Amino acid sequence: MAQKPPSSDVETSGHDDVVDPGTAVERSTAPQNPGLAPEHQRVTDLDDKEAKGMERRIALFFVLSIVGSVFAAVAYVIFPIIPGDMSSVRMNNLTVGLGLSVALLGVGIGAVQWAKALMHGHELVEERHPTRGSDESRQAAVETFQQANKESGFTRRSLIRNTLFGALIATPIPAVVLFRDLAPAADPIELMKTTMWSEGVRLTRDPSGIPIKASEVTIGSAFHVVPDGWKDLEHGKLEEKAKAAVLLMRLPVDELKEDPAKTDWSYQGIVAYSKICTHVGCPVALYEQQTHHLLCPCHQSEFDVANHCEVIFGPAARPLPQLPITIDAEGYLVARSGFTEPVGPSFWERQL
């Protein structure tokens, strides 16, 4: 078996016999080239009978593949897809898919077995060709470049060239303006703090707009809530709704750890918190009634409703803002005031 060394600066005279042509010092410190591993004789190399048996087994896989292909084609005709009939679609997919699977597996397994068991297993080293181009091709590239420069006048026509550079530098400027447009010109804190909620505004179900009585909010329930009257807005309806969205939940009073300064912000265990995550503003929508945890599906921030919606997990930096609530004369839940802090992502505050 002929073998070639993996590198031209190392010579081998066999699998284990390595000679480093470097200096004496290099010889003592350089790692030795172990050469190629000795070739193992396979049973099919040593025994013709085994090789014949393997040949038959491999041929069997290829025959199986042929059967699978024919089966897939026949199944496509026998089990046609009938428009509107889902069971025909399923049967067609199942039988055709089965046939194709057998066909592909048969070819794959047969080919791998053939390569592993019967094809020659000599290991070869292929020298990588030099990546540097020949002097002629390098010269040709330089000439092409110079010719392009001459024909385009890129160096000669300095006015055009310099104004082109100016145009390329100026191109991103509109992007800056457009990005600025994504942020409101008004004070963002004021904008996010000012919602439709104010004293006496009823809490209504989203999307029906039906006002909610305190008696309807049972322990363990959670309501998606919007302020009464948002549908009547003439401008910015959706923006206002998004900012004012609130989650309403009722907990056993003794499980609610209330801030002494905010005991009148809830009503008999009913609490309302902004639905906009304080991380980057996704809607917090998953409520675990057993643990009283709210989960934001975007980056898994978790808030503890029983404890002022404090962040107990995830990237959110501050609790969800609480909406102070009470009931009106008819027993409907109403806001005591608007939010006392900006809703939504907290980077507004950090930025300013």
Interaction between residue 275 and ligand FES (CB under 6 A): no
To ligand FES, the closest distance from the beta carbon of 283 in angstroms equals: 9
Give φ, ψ of 51 to 5 degrees: -60, -40
- Which of the ranges 24-32, 157-165, 175-183, 298-306 carries the binding residues for ligand FES, by CB under 6 A? 298-306
Interaction between residue 301 and ligand FES (CB under 6 A): yes
Interaction between residue 294 and ligand FES (CB under 6 A): no
Give φ, ψ of 99 to 5 degrees: -60, -45
Q: If we measure between CA atoms, which residue out of 274, 279, 275, 270 comes closest to residue 327?
A: 270
To ligand FES, the closest distance from the beta carbon of 285 in angstroms equals: 10
Output the CA angle 272-277-283, nearest 5 degrees: 80
To ligand FES, the closest distance from the beta carbon of 340 in angstroms equals: 21
Interaction between residue 276 and ligand FES (CB under 6 A): no
Interaction between residue 280 and ligand FES (CB under 6 A): yes
Among 203, 249, 296, 333, binds ligand FES (CB under 6 A): 296
Which CB, 194 or 301, lies closer to ligand FES? 301
To ligand FES, the closest distance from the beta carbon of 67 in angstroms equals: 53
Among 5, 42, 314, 318, binds ligand FES (CB under 6 A): 314
CA distances from residue 195 to 9, 191, 204, 242, 343 in whole angstroms, order as listed: 76, 8, 15, 9, 9
- Which of the ranges 68-76, 100-108, 179-187, 292-300 carries the binding residues for ligand FES, by CB under 6 A? 292-300
Interaction between residue 312 and ligand FES (CB under 6 A): no
Interaction between residue 285 and ligand FES (CB under 6 A): no
- Which residues 203-222 are close enough to bind ligand FES by CB under 6 A? none
- Which of the ranges 14-22, 134-142, 202-210, 295-303 carries the binding residues for ligand FES, by CB under 6 A? 295-303
Which CB, 228 or 302, lies closer to ligand FES? 302
* Interface contacts to ligand FES, rule CB under 6 A: 277, 279-282, 296, 298-299, 301, 314-316
